[in-house]
Chains A and B, each alone.
Chain A
Amino acid sequence: MKIILPSPLVEAPPPRPFWQDFKLLLTAQLRVTWNKIRHWPRSVRIGMAITSLAFLSLIVFLGQLSYGVLSQLPPHIARGFLSLIFMAGYGALIFFGITTAFATLYMSEDLDLLFMAPVSTRAVFAVKLLVVAAGNSITVLIFIFLPALFFGLLFGAAPLFYLWAALVSLGLWLSGIAVAALLNLLVMRIVPPHRSREAVGLLGGIGGVLIALFFQLPNLLIQSGQKIDLPGWLGGQQKMLQVMDLFPWGWASRALAGSAAGAQWAGLGWSLLLLALGAAVLAAAFLLVERGFRRGWISLSQDQGGRRRKKHRQPRSSGERVRSEERHPLSLTATQEPFPKASAWRGMWAVAKKDLLYLRRDTREWFGYMIPLIVLAFFIGQHIFLFSDTSRSSLVTVLIMYTIIFSGNMAAQSFGREGESDWILNSVPLAGWPVVWGKLLAAILPTLVLMEAMLLGTALATGLSRGMTLLMAAGALLLTFAASAIGLFFSINNCRYHPDNPRQRITPGAAWLMYLLNLVLIALMSLGLLYIFTPAELTDLLREMPPISFSWSFPGLLLYFFYLLTRPFFWAPLWRIVTGVGVAGGVWAAFFFGFMAATVRQSRKGFRVEIVTAAKQIRLRQPS
């Protein structure tokens, strides 16, 4: 068989105009996006549908609220309110724009390929910027176009108003994306390429927290009742509203308020000004981004380039190098005496230290700790500002649940953190208890510090007694250890790793099972604690229950078992407390030592981290 190759290219193909390149690249980009959507797994589609529904209901709620507020306001204050919403939207557009631009431009895997192809780099960046803009269209729709639309409907604006509303939205959209692209230039310059995934994780984490707080808004507004008087507050902020007129969102509100009041020329003027500003900033951003990449100011490669902090060291002289090598001759001789074995405790600490260094150095890991802090701060704030008896009890419940869930969660991340380096802990001779206890130490040290700090903060905020605080501290300690042992067991058996998302380190099914076991732990330990601190109401209630006799049937046996569990409540205090201590301690020891032993056994057998690809398809690394 002979292969016939096409004849070599003699002349270079004629250059194509910009629009042709742009159309070609845009078609390719649309095809990629369409294929991505087509291959979404069913679970992702369902998740997207549920999220969209939740988001839609939130928007409807906030829309109704805004509509209600606007109807109570005089036109000039309503304009200020509109300006505020536009400002929030513009801020969100810039923030999420930076994240999208960073992912699209800096982490793009096709830029190398596109730069090699005979297409104009301007067409490449035009398409990339279009992708960034399209990625943030929902923000514009929710925060800019819809409020403008409702404003027009409320004030019965003329048809031309809606044209200005579209122009205003377009102008803010273009300028917001352009500002995001410009700021992203700085971010790309600051973040070295090898930390780009981390940076996207960090930006995504901040975005997640903002969205979480956004979803808490209805809860806050409902709980506050009539305490928040938005119209009154806005009425007293005349100066701030005047200052806002100097910014694009102020121009937008002037355009729409003017048009709604019948001044269509004012509407046209401000809208065109916004559009011109958007076009100018976008052109500047486009040129700077394109030039930045073309001239190498921004690195394309993931492995090198970018700005990297270098340690300045004096180059060593050749004489010094020779002396150093004389001092350190290569020593690999098998004839040397084998070294005496160091303590295995050093190995345990080495594993813990490695994980602690990771927690400190990977900024994405911080979010694992920041989210409970933010949520608890939210509850403490709610307790302080909207005090009620239920807020104190809910705060204590949240703290207990968080101690359990958070500890389990942090430990559940442990073995997945090994990622693609899982071969290291599997190939060394120290598998077993040194590795597992090292992992436990790294999981509980920061957790304990955080939990105890949160406990102290809660105790101070709610005015808990010293005895109760100490009791909760001891409880947090025990719960942290037991929940972490459960978390470690599930981690070693179900660990996985997503290179872009360090939080997805355990399979969802295993995570749910872990939470369920944590609840069982709480229930059993609560029984022991109830024997120790028996509430009078409980014994009164149990006294009223009829006696249950033994019978040989499953429901009968179950009922009799629960009946037996209630008997210690009627024992003498000493026996009751001893039983309580025994039950709580026994349950804790059984959970902690049982799960630790199982994890150590699995560690000796070896563990494997499943790698989750960007397409969320799990593949097992299979060697050739």
Chain B
Amino acid sequence: MKQILIKTNRLTKQYGAITAVNQLDLEVFGGEIYGFLGPNGSGKTTTIRMLAGLLEPTSGEAFICGYNINREPARAKALIAYVPDHPRVYGKLTAREFLALMADLYRMPPEYARDQAERLLTLFELSERADELLEGFSHGMRQKVVVAAALLHRPRVLLMDEPTVGLDPRSARLLKDVLQELARQGEAIFLSTHILEIAERMCHRVGILKEGRLIAQGSPEELRQQAGRAGGSLEDIFLELTGGAEDAELIRSLGEEGVS
């Protein structure tokens, strides 16, 4: 039987009169990579931040491995790792010091943590610069450090907001391989992305969010069937569902104008 690792129950977040996330019901299973898609401002980051316990919902509940993230935050947070959309880290720490800090904050035994940190530094090709301050790292390098820190304590649930932004193709590929391996080992990966190719090739299921509401959910194949576009790409389905199809037409017309 599949284990539900992430569950939301009518999860809602309001900023004044604006409803960023509206009555969201989600279930993500262990061993699944769940892609969270939506146009800018649709509520993806808000949802992820609520799941990570960084933001309190206005109403509704979110559960991580059965623990309510707002009522039992310490238990839930011990099982998750969060990778934010921008790798904002402590610039005055070195990569190695940052990983050691994260290990201590997750109460990892020092010897084990050191060993695991070295493996991850090697894996993400950070060993050479592990003793340099993070403020001197490029965006992509910092992103790799944040991803390494997220994998350090072997979370059951990985929440990732645009994880491949800023990564070079080699690192992006490595991250995809690592995520697939983690999923194979039974962990739940919940990632938001604008790169539909990643969602199509990597994700077992995809949820499309528009104006805070989940408007479609399923495997890419199921979404194609729902949209009645058997041979269509996920991009076409996404544009159709989120109202971007008109823009696509407009762009195509530009091409025609150029030719004529």
Contacts and interface: CB of A to CB of B under 8 A. Distances in A.
Interface in A472-501: none
B254 A332 contact: no
Interface in A191-230: 192, 194-195
Given A1-B250, A313-B128, A334-B187, A428 B106 contact: yes
A76 interface: no
A296 to B, nearest CB: 18
B92 interface: yes
Nearest to A309: B132
B185 A361 contact: no
Interface in B44-65: 44-46, 49, 52-56
B181 A2 contact: no
A350 B100 contact: yes
Nearest to A324: B122
A624 B105 contact: no
Given A332-B182, A429-B77, A424 B90 contact: yes
A354 B101 contact: yes
Contacts of B42: 624
Interface stretch (A16-24, A154-162, A337-345): A337-345
B205 interface: no
B243 interface: no
B136 interface: yes
Contacts of B46: 623-624
A622 B15 contact: yes
B185 A623 contact: no
Nearest to B132: A311
B75 A303 contact: no
A61 to B, nearest CB: 42
Contact of B105 (A334, A335, A428): A428
B244 interface: no
B148 to A, nearest CB: 11
Interface string A533-575: 0000000000000000000000000000000000000000000
Contacts of A428: 77, 102, 105-106
Interface residues of B, number: 71
Contacts of A346: 104, 107, 110
Contact of A424 (B89, B92, B119, B154): B89
Contacts of B40: 624
Interface in B37-96: 40-46, 49, 52-56, 73-78, 80, 82, 84, 86, 88-93
A117 interface: no
Interface string B94-132: 000100111011111110100110110011000010011
B54 A431 contact: no
B176 interface: no
Interface of B: 15, 20, 40-46, 49, 52-56, 73-78, 80, 82, 84, 86, 88-93, 97, 100-102, 104-110, 112, 115-116, 118-119, 122-123, 128, 131-133, 135-136, 138-139, 151, 153-154, 156, 178, 181-182, 185-187, 250, 253-254, 257
Nearest 5 CB-CB pairings of A with B = A350-B104, A623-B45, A429-B77, A429-B78, A420-B88
